[in-house]
Amino acid sequence: MPVEENSNSLQLFDPQIAKAIEDEKRRQQDKLILIASENCVSNAVLQAQGSILTNKYAEGYPGQRYYGGCEYVDTIEELARIRATDLFGVDHANVQPHAGALANLAVYVAVLQTGDSVLGMDRAHGGHLTHGSPVNISGMYYNFYSYGVDPDSGYLDMEEVRRMAKKVSPRLIVAGASAYSREIDFSAFHDIAREVGAYLMVDMAHIAGLIAAGLHSNPAPFADFITSTTHKTLRGPRGGLILCRQQFARAIDKAVFPGIQGGPLMHIVAAKAVAFKEADTEEFRLYQEQVLKNSRALAKEMIEMGFELLTGGTDNHLILVDLRSKNISGQEAESLLDEVGITVNKNAVPFDEESALVTSGIRLGTPSVTSRGMKEKEMETIAQLINDTLESRQDPLAISKIKRTVREMCADHPLYQDIIS
């Protein structure tokens, strides 16, 4: 079957899928996306990701492939690797992990034996599934212990981390979080790891874009391994990344392939290269600065509206709202807000008494709305809309007014030029 050269070929051949994609595009355009782990990528990233590179098998690494015809994909992967190492100031990069979860697994496979002790952040306090949750392979194959945040301040308590590390003598300490709004002290983690003879892995999945822009301290001088996603604040294609010192390069590369993956997704690797190039620009630095300004503006206005924030504020792109004083669960808030066009996710607060499906909090992040050009003024409006939605949940008239305002804000800030509101 010859490939259709028609740009409408998806629409013609598979109208059901084409329609669902259009509907999703419309949803992204018409809603205020405050999911802290989401973003919207550039057309350049989309173009690389949607390219014919998907046709190519390239098991192995540049110059050492198990397939012929790899001369051009070698160029692509080399560029991606060099750009990643330059961007973060490290010796070695592996750009092949299909996802953040697999980047983490590859580090575990590279340095641990099954049953080894590992210390990571409690998922209920903001850690990630792949940091030892019993339902994840990390928790099934390795002996994870966890540290949490201080019950009063909500901040990571480094003395508690040290105490736990001394107690459990981990082979690896994992730093990094999915729901933590403060700067992480990588130097303190490094000191603790050295004291107990553990490796240090920093999972910067959420904050990689801030780090690339110099707006969060860089773990490179402190960590033995750095893992990341490329699609959160870094604003690249959906995928994973591992950075390490030269001494671990071979072990990491072997763990990714043939350890846990087969052929790399070369279209995604190309899109990662594009994203790393974008992240090395002044424009990107200004974008990340605005992400932070917006996050602070949102935090300030939420506090003024009477919401309680974990740690009382934020140093990064996200805020965590404790809804216990507002008499509404995270689950209820998430669904009410989605109804008016504000997409957030429910989130457990530390020491939460509700189940993981209900929760007592929500997590709000500014990367996506900032990519659409929204600034502090819009953040104030968003905080007010969130407050109004939760307060006026019984008032259909107020709710339809909020919906209209959300629609107008979205129309004023198009996601992509080819979407007309």
Ligand X SMILES: *Cc1c(COP(=O)(O)O)cnc(C)c1O
Q: Out of 59, 183, 280, 391, which one is annotated catalytic? A: 59
Token look-up 């690389």 returns 48
Which amino acid, 39?
Answer: N
Interacting residue with ligand X among 109, 205, 320, 374 (CB under 6 A): 205
Q: Segment contacting ligand X (CB under 6 A): 108-116, 174-182, 191-199, 402-410? A: 174-182
Please indicate whether residue 57 is annotated as part of the active site. Answer: yes
96 binds ligand X (CB under 6 A): no
The least CB distance from residue 174 to ligand X, in Å, is 9
Please indicate whether residue 343 is annotated as part of the active site. Answer: no
Q: Out of 83, 171, 182, 232, which one is annotated catalytic? A: 232
37 binds ligand X (CB under 6 A): yes
C-alpha distances (whole Å) from 382 to each of 269, 340, 394, 406 are 35, 11, 20, 8
* For ligand X, the closer CB: 177 or 406: 177
Q: Out of 65, 77, 147, 203, which one is annotated catalytic? A: 203
Closest by Cα among 283, 226, 266, 316 to 37: 316
Please indicate whether residue 322 is annotated as part of the active site. Answer: no
* For ligand X, the closer CB: 37 or 345: 37
Please indicate whether residue 352 is annotated as part of the active site. Answer: no
Interacting residue with ligand X among 29, 229, 311, 316 (CB under 6 A): 229
Element housing 302 (H / E): helix 282-304
DSSP 65-129: ESSS--HHHHHHHHHHHHHHHHHHT-SEEE---SSHHHHHHHHHHHH--TT-EEEEE-GGGT--T
Cβ contacts of 365 within 8 Å, gap of 6 or more: 34, 35, 36, 37, 38, 295, 317, 318, 319
Please indicate whether residue 147 is annotated as part of the active site. Answer: no
Please indicate whether residue 238 is annotated as part of the active site. Answer: yes
Closest by Cα among 108, 88, 101, 77 to 265: 77
Tokens found for residue 299: 């935090």
* For ligand X, the closer CB: 70 or 193: 193
* Binding map of ligand X across residues 120-159, x = CB under 6 A, - = no contact: --------x-x-----------------------------
Pairing of strands 172-175, 342-343: unpaired
User: Active-site residue numbers?
Assistant: 57, 59, 203, 229, 232, 238
**Where do contacts with ligand X occur on this chain (CB under 6 A)?**
37, 99-101, 104, 128, 130, 176-178, 203, 205-206, 229, 240
